[in-house]
Amino acid sequence: MKALQDRNLWRNHSFIAGVDEAGRGPLAGPVVACAVILPRHFYHPEIDDSKKLPPKKREELYATIVRVALSYAFGIVDSATIDRINILNATKRAMQSAIDELTPQPDIVLVDGMHLDTCVLKQIPLVKGDTLSISIAAASVLAKVERDTIMRTYHKVYPQYHFYRHKGYPTKLHRQCLSQYGPCPIHRKTFRLL
């Protein structure tokens, strides 16, 4: 049950932050992390790993989460920085940036799938954390919707790539666009584009 990890921690902690990211795998655009603090003992049965949810449901849950959250924040690292420091380090930087923006600061941080070397707060890395923690699942939804919104904005700048459809992921359509037009400024040059 997704709330089990959080429920156990709420016994001894007032503010638990869940942290997750969206955008590690795409060929274009930023990586976006979210950190969110939910009210104690909060549960919503539909909040889940964002990849399992259809876009309309994600957006509905986004509205619910931002309404009830005690605090939430985003960390965004652009494609040029990803190329410079690599996607893993960029993801960690985005996550740390999101955590730093939370008010209040959490007592403990639940991080999806990795340990943050720069985080001075108590943290628990959870593999497949968005299936184990309601806080991480909520962060997953917020990060995904935020990144999708950014990619729809980039579509207006670079309409020939159809970013509103594939959000920068390596789909057949995206690869066809790359083959026809070559990379644009938001493509990750260190990724295998074709």
- The upper half-sphere exposure of residue 175, i.e. CA atoms within 13 Å in the direction of its Cβ, equals 7
The mean pLDDT value for 92-121 works out to: 97
The DSSP result for 145-180, as a single string, is: HHHHHHHHHHHHHSGGG-HHHHTT---HHHHHHHHH
| pLDDT for the residue 194 | 75
Q: How many residues does the chain have?
A: 194
Domain boundaries, the chain: 4-147
User: Taking all residues of the chain, what is their mean pLDDT, rounded to a whole number?
Assistant: 96
Percent above pLDDT 90 for the chain: 94
Rounded CA gap, 38 and 189, in Å? 37
pTM: 0.96
* The domain defined by 4-147 carries CATH number 3.30.420.10: yes
Rounded CA gap, 175 and 138, in Å? 31
The mean pLDDT value for 108-116 works out to: 97
